[in-house]
Chains A and B, each alone.
Chain A
Amino acid sequence: MKTIVYFEKMHLHGCELIAKAREFSKTIIALCENETCCPAAFSAGADEAVVIDFIYDDCAQGDMAAETINALAADSVLFPATVRGRFLSGWVAAKLETGLTADCTALSVTDSGLLLQRRPAFGGNLTADILCMTARPQMASVRPSVFPMPIIKENATGPIRYFKKSSSIEYIKNIGFTPTENRISLGEAKVVIAGGKGVGGKKGFEKLAKLAKLLGGTVGATRSAVDAGFITYDYQIGQTGQTVRPELYIGFGISGTVQHTVGMDSSKVVIAVNKDRSAPIFAHANYGIIGDWEENCDRIISALENRV
């Protein structure tokens, strides 16, 4: 299989996709938005890098990516499912009139040589295997950190080609950026205190934040807690949120749908607190406490407060 991995300029998640694609691809082309991406791409296992321009217009970038991908005639194309990468993947798939599977959690190749794409469906209650039979390329997007980041060696080299687009339409104009208020990012947090719908509301999350602060960590949430308006989307962990890999994850009032657990399974030590002994979250936890979330949270908070 000949696979193209789209490599965004702003982050290294393309490396995760290249390392994964190495398991089932004969040839891997890293489609880079800047030549600064190339050493990391080669280090992760790309055979060749194709460099296109970075355009401050995601639609025009999508046009250029589609044109280049079409010219490279690959069997499959992988995109990182960042907000921008996911937009580009949709734009490109429509331009090439081909199939696209969002947020894959496993990728492999079938006996007949097709890209087998697996994704949780219906809030993670089901897992679907998806194939793109006839249209080409077979396209998939993958959330950052779903596949492990390979070790990046500096100064890796390989053949580089440059693609230039003659003219491009201006669709949208970037007029500024406001960074999110400064706080510990979920992806890098060493301690994550996560809450589900079971914590009952905004007040519950304030309590979790208190515990998180005591441990130098940050809070996280399940999709149902976010959907219920308990906390904002940027705290969401899971298939349509962020992936966390902390030293310690404590989950309160979380049932444990796949939608959530795909985002926390790489945590080192997991403690889950839930009233329901049969809650699926316990199958993803090293330690389980059956009981009321708040009572247990209060006990841990007071034990830690008395420590100092």
Chain B
Amino acid sequence: MNILCLIKQVPDSLEVRMGSDLTLQRDFVAHVLNKADESAVELALQLRDEHGGKVTAMTMGLPRAETTLRELISRGVDEAILLTDKAFAGADTLATARALTAAAQVLGPFDLLLFGRRAADGETGQVGPMAAALMGIPCVANITSAEFKEDILTAHQLTETGTIHWEMKLPSALTLCEWSYALRLPTIVGLCKAKRADIRIMTPVEIGIEDTTKIGLKGSPTMVTHVSARPSGVRSTKWITVEEAIDIVKEVCK
């Protein structure tokens, strides 16, 4: 099975400043692999271990995202691709999905695309479904587990009221929930491999995008026009003691 994991490096803390152009200033905090993406990578590794094939991890981001890709190689990923170029910068979810699908088509064909269900910073959860729609392949979001047997992929989707079970043929795409699969630790062999690994860096032209007005800030239909600090609260607090609190609780819940 040829699997592509679409991953993202996110800030370790959410106290991030905006630049004057209203895009995020990501340079002042540590960056880590997005939590939900860990589940996606571990599922990919388990499917490969069971059915054979290859796991490729790809991200679009700044050159420093290379460290996250190397870390994934130490944990068992076979190959890593970094899409990095000024033309990719400032992308919204649609422009991101366009770049990722263009790269997947050039590097593929892949049997399975795995995403985290959302990034801890943007939290839109849109990129996975958008990429699948652009490619016209089946996609289910919010997956907690999945199995592959006799050419059929079965995936279990967490919803508000319970779990829906779906079947689909490959190629397809899934977005994984945080905590679904615990990502394995690096191995000694993996660490050596990660050190030497050749992380392939690709630019828009190399993934077949000649028209850069479709990607990055230029290719993004949505524009952040204003950013403000958190709004102030809706209530004014009255300071009370725990005894007073107990009376209030008893009064409200009588």
B248 within 8 A of A: yes
The residues of B that contact A265 with a CB separation of less than 8 Å are 234
* Interchain CA distance A142-B24 in the complex, whole Å: 23
Q: Return 16 A-B CB contacts under 8 Å, by A number.
A: A59-B139, A82-B159, A87-B141, A93-B126, A99-B94, A123-B123, A133-B221, A174-B164, A215-B249, A261-B233, A283-B237, A287-B240, A287-B244, A289-B242, A296-B242, A300-B245
* Interchain CA distance A94-B142 in the complex, whole Å: 19
User: Are A180 and B161 neighbours in the complex by a CB distance under 8 Å?
Assistant: yes
* Interchain CA distance A130-B237 in the complex, whole Å: 32
The residues of B that contact A84 with a CB separation of less than 8 Å are 159
The residues of B that contact A127 with a CB separation of less than 8 Å are 227-231
A132 within 8 A of B: yes
Q: Is the interface of A mostly helix, strand, loop or mixed?
A: mixed
Range class of the B interface residue count: 35 or more
Complex partner residue of A280 from B131, B140, B158, B233, CB under 8 angstroms: B233
Q: Which residues of B contact A (CB under 8 A)?
A: 14-16, 18, 24, 35, 92-94, 97, 118, 120-134, 137-142, 154, 157-168, 172, 177-179, 220-242, 244-246, 248-250, 252-253
Complex partner residue of B230 from A98, A258, A272, CB under 8 angstroms: A258
Cβ distance A190 to chain B, nearest Cβ, rounded Å: 8
Contacts known (A123-B14, A215-B253); A286 close to B228, Cβ less than 8 A: no
The stretch from A31-39, A100-108, A151-159, A202-210 touching chain B is A100-108
Q: How many residues of A contact B (CB 8 A)?
A: 89
The residues of B that contact A58 with a CB separation of less than 8 Å are 140
Complex partner residue of A287 from B166, B220, B245, CB under 8 angstroms: B245
Contacts known (A62-B133, A99-B220, A175-B165); A122 close to B14, Cβ less than 8 A: yes
Contacts known (A59-B132, A172-B166); A179 close to B240, Cβ less than 8 A: no
Which 10 pairs from chain A and chain B are nearest by CB? A283-B233, A99-B221, A90-B129, A123-B14, A94-B133, A135-B221, A99-B222, A94-B130, A171-B138, A179-B162
Which residue of chain B is the closest to A82 with respect to CB atoms?
B160
* Interchain CA distance A227-B154 in the complex, whole Å: 26
User: Are B237 and A100 neighbours in the complex by a CB distance under 8 Å?
Assistant: no
A6 within 8 A of B: no
Which residue of chain B is the closest to A287 with respect to CB atoms?
B240
Contacts known (A91-B133, A103-B124); A284 close to B233, Cβ less than 8 A: yes
User: Are A177 and B163 neighbours in the complex by a CB distance under 8 Å?
Assistant: yes
A74 within 8 A of B: no
Cβ distance A241 to chain B, nearest Cβ, rounded Å: 10
A184 within 8 A of B: no
User: Are B221 and A132 neighbours in the complex by a CB distance under 8 Å?
Assistant: yes
Which residue of chain A is the closest to B97 with respect to CB atoms?
A94
Cβ distance A308 to chain B, nearest Cβ, rounded Å: 12
User: Are B230 and A126 neighbours in the complex by a CB distance under 8 Å?
Assistant: yes
The residues of B that contact A300 with a CB separation of less than 8 Å are 242, 245-246, 249
Complex partner residue of B124 from A102, A215, A290, CB under 8 angstroms: A102
